[in-house]
Structure 1
Amino acid sequence: MPSTLNNILFCDIEKEDTIEAIDVKHLYDVPLMLQKEKLDSRVLSKLKLKARKSDLKSWKKIVNTIHHLDG
């Protein structure tokens, strides 16, 4: 476990409520990375809201197109 994460645990934040600050190539990658970290599920759980199945196929297609524009 990274030392930064150990320090966060002393701040009354549950380990599962932390996410990594991941560097991404494009801003459009951020929603996909946040979903990978399960941030969407955690927020809905904290707000006691029912989750719906997410469909990011169109978003992934856009991101894929952007990545291929860079060459």
Structure 2
Amino acid sequence: MTPVPNPPGEPADDLAAYVGLAAPDAERRAREHGWSPVRSLPPGTVITMEYLSGRLNFEVEHGLVRRCWKG
């Protein structure tokens, strides 16, 4: 499968590496890698579907990142 290119303003980063990290550690790492904003959401949170370049989202349950996605 061909990798999805990073739009301008988005860091080249391995999003799978965030899964399993404690939320504060994942947020710190994301900011160090250039993501802004970074948001942590509980499972099932209703969010809008707009894509914001440079934003990293975490789904956090019991203090650990379950899922990570751009936008």
Q: Common fold, TM-score beyond 0.5? A: no
Which structure has greater helix proportion? 1
**Normalising by the residue count of structure 1, what TM-score does the alignment of the two structures yield?**
0.32
Based on CA coordinates, which of the two structures has the bigger radius of gyration?
1
Q: Which has the higher contact order (CA 8 A, sep 6+)?
A: 2
**Normalising by the residue count of structure 2, what TM-score does the alignment of the two structures yield?**
0.32
